[in-house]
Amino acid sequence: MPTQAITDNRAFLVEKVIKNYSGIFDASTTERVAVIRRDKISRPVIYLGTGTSGSISGAKATLGKINSYLSEARFSADIIEVGCTGFCSAEPLLDIQLPGKTRLSFRNVTEDKVEDILNSVFHHTLPDDHILGQYKQDGLEEWPNIPMLEQISWFSLQRRHILKNAGIISPASIEDYIVRGGYKSLYKTVLNYPADKICEIIEQSELRGRGGGGYPTGKKWKVALDTAGDQKFMICNADESDPGAFMDRAVIESDPHRVIEGIAIAAYAIGASQAIIYVRTDYENSLKILEQAIGQAKDYGMIGEDIFGSGFNLSVSIRQGAGAFVCGEETALLSSLEGQRGLPRSKPPFPAEKGLWEHPTVINNVETLANVPGILENGPGWFKAVGTKYSKGTKLFSIAGKSVYTGFIEVPMGLTFSTIISQIAGGVKDGRALKAVQLGGPSGVCIPPADLETPLDYEALSDKGVNLGLGGLIILDDKTCMVNLARYFIEFLQNESCGKCIPCREGTSKMLDILEGITKRPKEESTHETLERFKGVVQLENLASVIRDTSLCGLGRNAPNPVLSSLKWFREEFEEHIFDRKCSAGVCHDLRSFYIDVDLCNGCNICQKKCPENAIVGSLKMPHFIIESKCTGCAICFDACKFSAIFFK
Amino acid sequence: MDHIFEKYILKKPENLIPLLQEIQKENGYLTDEIIERVSAHLNIPTNKIYGVATFYDQFRFKQKGKYHIQVCRGTSCYLCSSTSYLKEIEKLLKVKAGSLSRDKKFSFETVSCMGGCSQSPVIRINDKTYHHLSLAELHTLIRSLREKTE
Amino acid sequence: MLLTIEINGQQVSSKRGETILTVLNRIGVKVPTLCHLSNLSPTGACRMCVVEVEGLSHLVPACSHQVEEWMRIHTHSPRVLKARKTLVELLLANHPDDCLYCDRNGTCELQELSEELQVRERKYMSRNKPVQIDKACPSIQRDPAKCVLCMRCSRVCREIVGVSAIDAVGRGSHTRIGTSYNRGLNFNACVRCGQCIMVCPTGALTEKKSIQQVIEALSNPDLYPVVQFSPTVPAAIAEEFGLKSSKDILNLLRAALKKMGFRQSFDASMAADINIMEEAALFLDRLQKNTKLPLLTSCCPAWVRYIEVFRPEFATYLSPVKSPQQIMGTLIKQYITSSAGVKPGKVFVVSVTPCTAGKSEAESNGSETRLVDAVITIRELIRMIRLLGIDISNLDPEPADSAFSISSSSGRLFGISGGHLEGLIRSINFMSSGQELSPLKINDLRGLKPKKEAKVRINKQSVNVVAVSGLANAIGFIDEIANGRENIHIVEVMACLNGCINGGGQRTGTDEKCLKSRMKALYDIDEEEMVKVAHKNPVVNELFEKFLSGPNSQRNQEILHKTPLKTSAI
């Protein structure tokens, strides 16, 4: 049974906050809202980012340490577990707010740092290290000489609409969301607008699907709304399957109610009474948070029967994907939901006309839906004010790989790659040179440094034949072998191909064969095989064009991208691998050639004994040599040498 | 397992995947008896169930070890040389990815992405996730687990 | 609504909702297909039928893409040809290079495609893992190495046959057509109907051959080889060897069989007549006692296997009478031996059928000794005729052997769905009223519809009969019965759609045209034949008098009824 306080809060939040149309509160409401927002606190509040990236970085241990510190020091403070602000490389992120003062943020607070930081902050001093910045909060006393968070480079270029609450509020609390304006858009929607009007507003905002295709969302909704059907479905695609992209997970983990509100509005707009959230099964944390959030939303009457007395019913359920990359493709996702193998279907007919069990179905990804409440709250004009001519609004990007900072960001459409890399991500780690930026997941492309001034929006990229995809950016430094990376992506794709159509199933597997031939050195190679290897690039290009032309779904059509883009911009690396049998980056192990530094070798003979190819000669206590023509680059000698006398080039 | 079957009382084909998921959660892996039971329960041919189950990475037909090691092979982890983890574990446990060590204490598999891309490389053992482990640390970790079980 | 599109520069009018392929077929433009099956919905999987549509960035599959007003289509542009050729090259990369030794050499669709698109070199190297041939099943053999994953077999098995014994397993380049837990077909839901073989474009699915065994028997002086053939065999042989229908095909076939070395040949239609007689008596008995109705026919071994394995609760409704093949085997072994003076163990009975399930049936008939020693499909018979150098068109027709030489046209009608029922009703009517049914022809039970229902008056009683073909349809129908549909008296089931004329052992390349001509051949016989009903077949009557006793008697049960099999559900 809910306690009195909870039911009180519920009634208060629904009646006085959500249904308050003007947004102007009387004094007592303002006071109560401030308390719920934790602007007004009576004892210190500690916020800890315990989302997936926080947990991986050790936030759970930090949490344990905080608890034990508080009980030992007999200090009373509230601990709020929050999601992630996006600054993942700074995780675990710990914020502390003292009564009357602004919220302070600390980075990389592993368990050993907890005591120092809490000690000093509770005594109103500041530790020397780990300070990230402070939040801007009106009416609270600022800490001296501490930068505002929005001033630091990671945040300064961001426009945080979707991420407004991320890392700030507790994802486990619907109250936190409501006192920040949440569910007001839904209230407005179901009470004031007919469904087609909502489609129109979204169309006016020029919101485009953030799942990769970039199809206008309002238009898609309109098609589903206009298609006759007694049953319609709204599906939220949270099967973010691109390795290297994790924004959707972060949005769910940090601000789940924003997604649920988006889903509810979308369902209303297309006339659906059933919504399904399709979540990746690996994302256990997201799953837990979503389940909890759906329960709360039901409890508050935000979803369920007769929402806000409007007669609009909506049931929201969660379905776990069972682990198949192809199910990110919308028709494959539908097959999976129907209990089948996740095979894509031919389009047309599009799901908006004939989707789940042939009913009109709209499938939007998490980011698209998270944009919806903001658009209804502030109007399409507000949304359109940001971005470029054909790409409006903000876009989430995840930054991973070899940059100094990693995480996820929300920036206006149209920033250039170089701005994001140098100004937000802090450039390349360890002072190395940038080789390329990989965009759009495994079937994405590698952008060379020469093209980094390209703005990140739909049309500038499509001019270059590139798909924005989900928005995963991976920074590659000069130690990356582009051939090997292309091989990795093709290996991934051939493994994840559904196997239905010939070009994708057989084509990607043949491309992989060719790329493996290029990156590996067999023990013996017949003349025929050498010739095959020499034909490699031509065959790759031929296969790529056919796969692109004939594949059934988007996964197949885009599968050749990593090879084609690498071939286009890094062709000399392929040639080096094929003709010189050399990998400058030293990544393709089989192509390394080893040599022994005669000055370091003391002739212990271990390498000679271990060499499976008898490629090492030398007598005991005398420097040994490697016969290059016999060496297959297996590196056993390299691992075996106790004197680090073996090197490779 | 009966309570899971009772939960999915309707003979709807869309119940197949959630049903298998829950059974696997309980049992650890799928056996032919389970598939036959599901077949009878949902009135779907066993062959079709097998086809569906082999399509998705999640379903396994082999027992999990006491310690289940998952190595991320996502792009970011790959770039941060998660492959060396793979080789190291294969060498240490003398098993290939997707199988069980002979003492049944360790099983090991690769996963497509755990979403920990900003902490690459990431590795998970049962419920605990580790990041930025050096090979030596990985070595120690596995050895300590192995000794713990003995 | 009509709309105009342009195909290869030619204006063509088409209907909204039509696929491009339909339009192309109509105007005589041929594009290659692989995964396409005319009676199943398109999947668009093989991409062989791709065409170029101006304005679209990629090629579209003709089989599933619908026409639209603005379309300008190029079906054989260089881009399209290159794509198709590459697709075939990709398939060939994984395909064993053993065409000369392959069962489908000359009838292989992949071979045909490769020739059509002029593939002249192995462009992509393969790294094939050796795969095991699944040959444990007595009827069907699978060679996964030759599979091109067109999924026709699995679709037929799911949608037409309804058992899903083979289906896609695994994902991506590891996808295989497989069985659950990779167990062989023998330990599986397979009912052995062989429909998968009929749709397989390559040699991945074939019948398990018995040719060698038969040839050895033919040349073994100790044995007395005899042959029986099913009603649809003559028509199929005529098709294959281009024999004109004006010729005496039945007796040409007999001549060919004799040339091959069979000492006697028997038309299994005679056994069908016996089946009718026995079943008619049985039905009247059940009708009178009003038990075990509807009577489910049991002449189709695939159907019987389905009931025994999956729906044992219906087993009591099944007619216990043996199938014509097994009755014939029994008669030959028990009756002829005495007359020809051959020891029973020396008689070697070969059955030629359009049925792969017949092979399994002969192998496991519940008794110690085999009633039929080898079963060969029509395809195998054709091969043997060629192998043994028999020029069938230049043979002289040979009249029937003395024993069992007459069969009624009712028995012949067993070859088509509804035919068994038609013959059965004729005899039931006669047995119960003493009068011939008039007219004899039951139009409601004729034609190529998968489900045919008829209401007949037999001795003032209204009897409702249903003929269903295609096991999936039959499963649907017995579900209807299980769910309470009443007042059905007899259900005739053929596992293959339209019955034996479309059996799993029929000629390679059976299409709708073949089905129609085979159907016509059977119905024509019913027009021309003097003896149209089983109970007027003098041979049958003589048998019942001398060798058997009155229909449904104790003795007949011993000889004509089968011992129920104990098969466990898989």
> What is the distance in angstroms between the Cα of C170 and the nearest Cα belonging to chain B?
5
Does the beta-carbon distance from B55 to A342 stay under 8 Å? yes
pLDDT at C187: 76
Q: Which residues make Cβ contacts (< 8 Å) with residue A344, sequence separation at least 6?
A: A326, A329, A331, A332, A335, A498, A500, A552, A553, A555
- Which of C52, C80, C124 would you mutate first to test chain A, the one with the most A CBs within 10 A? C124
pLDDT at A6: 60
Q: In chain B, how many domains are there?
A: 2
Domains of chain A: 37-151 (3.40.30.10), 175-384 (3.40.50.11540), 394-477 (3.10.20.600), 482-580 (1.20.1440.230), 592-648 (3.30.70.20)
Chain A, residues 385-414, CB within 8 A of chain B, namely 398-402, 406-408
Q: Tell me what pLDDT residue C367 has.
A: 63
Work out the mean pLDDT of chain C and round it to a whole number: 89
For residue C494, what are the β-bridge partners?
C469
Is B51 found in the same domain as B73? no
Q: Is residue B96 part of a domain?
A: yes
B88 with B139, same domain: the answer is yes
Mutation for testing the B interface, residue in C151, C164, C180 having most B CBs under 10 Å: C180
Q: Pick the closest to residue C110 from C126, C94, C125, C128 (CA basis).
A: C94
Measure the CA–CA gap between C526 and C530, rounded to whole angstroms: 8
Query: In this complex, which of A319, A408, A438 lies closest to B75 when CB atoms are compared?
Result: A438
Which of residues C556 and A457 earns the better pLDDT score? Answer: A457
- Would you tell me which residues 486-545 of chain A have a C-beta closer than 8 angstroms to some C-beta of chain B? 488-489, 492, 496, 498
Q: Do B112 and A243 touch (CB under 8 A)?
A: yes
In chain C, what are the domains?
Answer: 2-76 (3.10.20.740), 124-207 (3.30.70.20), 212-560 (3.40.950.10)
Give the Cα separation of A47 and C382 in Å (integer).
82
- Specify whether the CB–CB gap between A199 and A220 falls below 8 A: no
| A342 lies within 8 A of chain B by CB | yes
Query: Looking at chain A from residue 241 to 280, which residues have their Cβ under 8 Å from any Cβ of chain B?
Result: 241-246, 249, 280
Judged by CB atoms closer than 8 Å, whether chains meet at A474 and B76 is answered as: yes
Please confirm whether the linkage preceding A349 is cis (ω < 30° from 0). yes
- Average model confidence (pLDDT) for chain B? 86
Q: Are residues B20 and B76 part of one domain?
A: no
The model's pLDDT over C428-464, given as tens digits with 9 standing for 90+, comes to 999 998 889 888 899 999 999 999 999 999 888 899 9
Q: Is B76 on the interface with A (CB under 8 A)?
A: yes
Task: For residue C207, give Cα distances in angstroms to C138, C156, C176, C360.
Answer: 8, 16, 20, 11
- The C-alpha of B136 sits at a distance from chain C's nearest C-alpha, in angstroms, of 35
As for the ipTM of the complex, it is: 0.91
- Same domain, yes or no: B71 and B122: yes
The 3-state DSSP class for residue A436 equals: strand
Cβ of C8: how many Cβ atoms within 10 Å?
A: 15
Residues B74 and B140 placed together within one structural domain of the fold: yes
Closest Cβ–Cβ partner in C166, C180, C188 for B35: C180
B83 and B145 co-located in one domain: yes
Mean pLDDT calculated for residue range A495-521:
90
| Mean pLDDT, chain A, integer | 89
Distance CA C367, CA C370 (A): 7
Residues B31 and B85 in one domain: no
Helix C538-546 and helix C269-289: axis angle, to 10°?
70
The first and second tokens of residue C214, run together, are 């038969």
pLDDT at A1: 42
Q: What is the pLDDT of residues A32-41, one digit of tens each?
A: 988 898 888 8
Determine, for residues B47 and C168 on separate chains, whether the beta-carbon distance falls below 8 Å: no
Domain-located, residue B60 = no
Q: What is the pLDDT of residue C368?
A: 66
Q: Check A346 against C65: CB less than 8 A apart.
A: yes
A107, A132 contact by CB (below 8 A): yes
Question: Which residues of chain B lie closer than 8 angstroms to C168, CB-CB?
Answer: 51, 55
Q: How many CB atoms lie within 10 A of CB C37?
A: 18
Which residue is listed with tokens 């005319």?
C38
Instruction: Give CA separation, B146 vs B28, B102, C531, in Å.
Output: 20, 12, 84
Which pLDDT tens digit goes with each residue over A172-189? Answer: 999 999 999 999 999 999
B14, B73, B79 member nearest A337 (Cβ): B14
Same domain? B48 vs B76: no
Q: A621 or C335, which is more confident?
A: A621
Range of A362-366, A536-540, C510-514 with top mean pLDDT: A362-366
Q: How far apart are the first and last CA of chain B?
A: 30
Q: Of B49, B50, B54, which is closest to C171 when you measure between CB atoms?
A: B54
pLDDT on residue C193: 93
Q: How far apart are the C-alpha atoms of C450 and C470, rounded to whole Å?
A: 7
Banded model confidence at residue C225, pLDDT cuts 50, 70, 90:
very high
Q: Which two tokens stand for residue C184?
A: 């062989």
Residues in chain C with CB shorter than 8 Å from the CB of B32 are 180-181
So what's the pLDDT on residue C568? 42
Lowest mean pLDDT among A426-435, A467-476, B86-95, C561-570: C561-570
HSE, side-chain direction, 13 A CA sphere, residue A179: 21
Domain assignment of residue B28, yes or no: yes
Peptide bond into A194 cis (omega under 30): no
- Please indicate, yes or no, if residue B50 is contained in any of the structural domains: yes
Distance CA C423, CA C434 (A): 16
Pairwise CB contact (< 8 Å): A339 & B12: yes
Residues B72 and B141 in one domain: yes
Say what angle helices A284-299 and A256-270 make with each other, to 10 degrees. 60
Q: Write down the pLDDT at residue C500.
A: 94
State whether A244 and B122 contact (CB < 8 Å): no
Cβ of C180 within 8 Å of Cβ of B55? The answer is no
Closest CA to C274 of C546, C558, C537, C564: C537
The answer to whether the beta carbons of residues A187 and A308 sit under 8 Å apart is yes
A435 contacts on B by Cβ (under 8 Å): none
Q: What percent of chain C has pLDDT over 90?
A: 62
* B62 within some domain: no
Asked if residue B78 belongs to a domain, the reply is yes
Q: Which helix (H) or strand (E) holds C463?
A: strand C461-469
Query: Nearest-CA distance from C46 to chain B in Å?
Result: 19
Same domain, B45 and B73: no
Q: Which residues of B touch A483 (CB under 8 A)?
A: none
β C374-377/C347-353 pair status: parallel
Nearest CA in chain C to A498: C172
What's the CA gap between A341 and C168, in Å, rounded?
9
Domain of residue B26: give its range. Answer: 2-55
Q: Is residue B61 one of the residues assigned to a domain?
A: no
C touches which chains (3+ CB pairs under 8 A)?
Answer: A, B
> For residue B95, what is the domain's CATH number?
3.40.30.10
Q: Does residue B42 sit in the same domain as residue B109?
A: no
Shared-domain flag, residues B89 and B138: yes
